[in-house]
């Protein structure tokens, strides 16, 4: 009997131990599975500049926990520029770069709802345009995640691919099959799905312009009558294997009197259309931009003015940035109010870290800076709309002219005196060239070419020099394009070596001819000597900036410098590069003018 009792007690205790061990797991499981994901709308949107946006709209049933996890295959982590989580009313905080419940191979995002219980919300991933490559003749290859990566099974996943224009053909290759349309459906999507896809598409010409918009500077000026004038300056770098010859600029729908100019202040023709609540200005560039080269575009327009209400002028619901169909790396908006005006709202204490209010003696200036701006910020209810009000007395309209007229003579005398003594010493290519000539330094050692020392410069000499210089520039661009194609495997190695050698020999011959012409032009006193010295200085700056940009991109590609450090330095080097290129173009234009009007 004792043995039976002991055996019975042992069995009872074993059952209790098993129940006590399994009960917490059951409770935890019940808490974890207190909600289910009924549907995910997986939208893959391609911007005009080739940037890829992943919008995952998640529908849940049941009690959602305080945190939620979603991710992408880790191979896309280097291309993620921005992540936002939001619903119809607010934006949620998150942690980036986490693991999906300990599963490796994913770039995870953990979203915190902070006591909210949304049943539908969206997670937006903004990616670089490196995922879109050109395949020639309007063909493109898009690399994208075929499905979202979640920690629970999904009953239905609707996938939709969207381009700025409808493709004429599309083929999507993914692990679970091939699709011939821009949308497909997956039922019972497993948790922790790792699935990448590749879409081969043919798009109408001009649908995409693979480029990086490094910066957008918006200067918004409000005059004494309340009229608003906006000047948007874009700095654009081409990433396209083909030449960038056109661009479409996004403007507010209310924009009027639109004028587009290039970096040389030349007015460009612009065709205005409306689409998705935006006014689009389609413009043809004055000069083609090759891969890796940059250009600037400026668009000026008017917006509805400030309205006087009581003693204050008010700009209601002013959009700091329009719903841009492309990504801007660094965006700055500067509001300049009339002299004598005082900004009433927003107050300085209400501004966040992205905004700065500067109160000068006669003028208030409000500056707002943002990174990685696009239409996604509008979808996510980012702080993009402001209501501005300022007080302004009409007395200032007459006060300023009267003040300056009273002291015009005195200011003119003092200004002339100060100018003579403290003349600006800023180094430009022109005055640097003048200093070199004035110093009468020995000529820099050059290869010896057979040039007649008494030969006179003729129109034909100048024309040959300019044509040879442009031909060398074109061949250098072709050589860069050839190197890019070889790196992507589009040109057989043997063919690449033969073509590269032929181009390099041609460039060497042109270089010798250019140096002969330079020696001839240096020996002629006056304008030609000055222009050639300016050209040498600009060429040196251009070569140095290209080398610095190449080194910076190499270090950034290897992860040896941070993204912030890269963005800060690339802008500085690019400014030097653009200034040198602009100087060279200006010198060539001056020489061509001398061909038309020989002296």
Q: Give the CATH number, domain containing residue 308.
A: 2.60.40.1730
- CA distance linking residue 371 with residue 382, whole number of Å: 12
Q: Which two tokens stand for residue 15?
A: 């059952």
Transcribe 470-489 into DSSP letters.
HHHHHHHHHHHHHHHHHHTT
- For residue 106, the model assigns a pLDDT of 94
- CA distance linking residue 129 with residue 140, whole number of Å: 12
**Contact residues for 567 (Cβ-Cβ < 8 A; gap 6+):** 329, 330
Rg (CA), the chain: 32
> What pTM does this model have?
0.61
- CA distance linking residue 594 with residue 599, whole number of Å: 7
- CA distance linking residue 385 with residue 217, whole number of Å: 17
pLDDT higher than threshold 50 for residue 598: yes
pLDDT higher than threshold 80 for residue 392: no
Cα separation values, 22 from 16, 18, 27, 432, Å: 10, 6, 9, 83
- The reply to whether 382 falls in a domain is yes
Same domain, 327 and 380: yes
- The reply to whether 260 falls in a domain is yes
Mean pLDDT over 299-320 rounds to 84
Q: Which two tokens stand for residue 440?
A: 């009468």
Mean pLDDT over 580-596 rounds to 79
Same domain, 163 and 225: no
Q: Which two tokens stand for residue 368?
A: 């707002």
- The reply to whether 397 falls in a domain is no
- CA distance linking residue 384 with residue 319, whole number of Å: 6
Q: Which of 202, 222, 247 is the last residue of a domain?
A: 202
Q: Which of 185, 202, 219 is the last residue of a domain?
A: 202
Q: Which of 161, 182, 202 is the last residue of a domain?
A: 202
Same domain, 223 and 188: no
Tell me the residue range of the domain where 277 lies. 211-392
Mean pLDDT over 124-141 rounds to 91
Same domain, 58 and 191: yes
Same domain, 358 and 381: yes
Domain containing residue 194: CATH number: 2.60.40.3650
Same domain, 313 and 186: no
Phi, psi of 137, rounded to the nearest 5 degrees: 55, 40
Q: Which of 340-349, 493-502, 529-538, 542-551 has the lowest mean pLDDT?
A: 340-349
Same domain, 160 and 191: yes
Our count of domains for the chain comes to 3
Same domain, 192 and 216: no
Contact 332, 367 (CB under 8 A): yes
- The reply to whether 444 falls in a domain is yes
- For residue 94, the model assigns a pLDDT of 92
- For residue 409, the model assigns a pLDDT of 54
Residue 499's pLDDT band, with cuts at 50, 70 and 90, is confident
- The reply to whether 135 falls in a domain is yes
pLDDT higher than threshold 50 for residue 307: yes
Same domain, 105 and 216: no
- CA distance linking residue 518 with residue 587, whole number of Å: 13
What b/e sequence results for 527-561 when a residue is b if at least 16 CB atoms lie within 10 Å of its CB, and e otherwise? ebbbbbbbbbbbeebbeebeebbeebeeebeeeee
Mean pLDDT over 479-492 rounds to 77
Indicate the SS3 state at residue 104.
strand
- For residue 135, the model assigns a pLDDT of 86
Same domain, 155 and 277: no
* Chain mean position to CA 59: 32
- The reply to whether 477 falls in a domain is yes
């Amino acid at each position: 009997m004792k043995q039976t009792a002991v055996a019975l007690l042992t069995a009872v205790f074993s059952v209790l131990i098993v129940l006590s061990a399994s009960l917490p797991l059951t409770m935890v499981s019940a808490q974890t599975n207190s909600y289910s994901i009924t549907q995910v709308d997986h939208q893959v949107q391609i911007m005009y500049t080739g940037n890829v946006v992943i919008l995952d709209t998640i529908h849940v049933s049941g009690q959602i926990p305080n945190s939620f996890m979603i991710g992408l295959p880790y191979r896309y982590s280097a291309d993620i520029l921005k992540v936002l989580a939001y619903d119809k009313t607010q934006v949620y905080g998150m942690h980036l770069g986490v693991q999906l419940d300990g599963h490796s191979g994913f770039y995870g995002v953990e979203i915190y709802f902070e006591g909210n219980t949304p049943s539908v919300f969206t997670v937006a991933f903004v990616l670089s345009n490196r995922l879109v490559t050109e395949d020639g003749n309007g063909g493109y290859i898009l690399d994208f995640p075929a499905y979202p990566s979640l920690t629970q099974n999904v009953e239905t996943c609707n996938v939709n691919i969207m381009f700025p224009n409808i493709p004429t053909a599309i083929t999507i290759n993914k692990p679970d099959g091939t699709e011939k349309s821009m949308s497909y459906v997956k039922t019972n999507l497993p948790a922790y799905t790792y699935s990448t896809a590749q879409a081969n598409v043919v798009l109408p010409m001009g649908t995409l312009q693979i480029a990086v918009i490094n910066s957008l500077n918006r200067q918004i000026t409000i005059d004494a009558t309340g009229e608003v004038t906006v000047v948007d300056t874009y700095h654009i770098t081409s990433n396209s294997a083909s030449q960038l010859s056109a661009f479409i600029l996004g403007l507010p729908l209310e924009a009027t009197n639109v004028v587009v100019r290039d970096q040389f202040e030349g007015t460009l023709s612009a065709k205005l259309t409306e689409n998705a609540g935006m006014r689009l200005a389609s413009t043809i560039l004055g000069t083609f931009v090759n891969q890796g080269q940059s250009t600037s575009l400026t668009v000026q327009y008017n917006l509805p003015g400030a309205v006087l209400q009581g003693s204050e002028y008010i700009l209601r619901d002013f959009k700091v940035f329009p719903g841009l169909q492309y990504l801007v790396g660094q965006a700055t908006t500067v509001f300049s109010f009339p002299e004598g005006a005082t900004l009433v709202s927003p107050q300085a204490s209400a501004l966040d870290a992205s905004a700065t209010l500067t109160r000068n003696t006669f003028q208030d200036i409000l500056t707002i800076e943002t990174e990685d701006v696009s239409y996604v910020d509008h979808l996510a209810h980012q702080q993009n709309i402001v209501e501005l009000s300022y007080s302004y007395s009409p007395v200032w309209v007459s006060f300023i002219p009267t003040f300056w007229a009273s002291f015009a003579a005195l200011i003119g005398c003092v200004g002339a005196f100060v100018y003579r003594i403290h003349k600006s010493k800023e180094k430009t290519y022109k005055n640097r060239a003048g200093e070199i000539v004035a110093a009468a330094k020995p000529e820099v050692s050059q290869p010896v070419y057979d040039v007649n020392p008494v030969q006179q410069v003729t129109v034909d000499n100048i024309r040959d020099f300019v044509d040879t210089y442009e031909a060398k520039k074109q061949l250098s661009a072709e050589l860069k394009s050839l190197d890019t194609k070889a790196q992507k495997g589009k040109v057989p190695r043997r063919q690449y070596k033969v073509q590269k050698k032929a181009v390099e020999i041609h460039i060497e011959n042109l270089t010798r001819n250019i140096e002969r012409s330079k020696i001839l032009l240096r020996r002629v006193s006056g304008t030609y000597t000055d222009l050639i010295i300016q050209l040498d200085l600009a060429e040196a700056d251009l070569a140095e900036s290209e080398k610095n940009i190449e080194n910076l991109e190499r270090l950034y590609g290897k992860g040896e410098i941070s993204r912030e450090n890269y963005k800060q330095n690339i802008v500085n080097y690019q400014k030097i590069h653009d200034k040198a290129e602009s100087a060279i173009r200006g010198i060539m234009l001056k020489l061509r003018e001398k061909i038309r009007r020989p002296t």
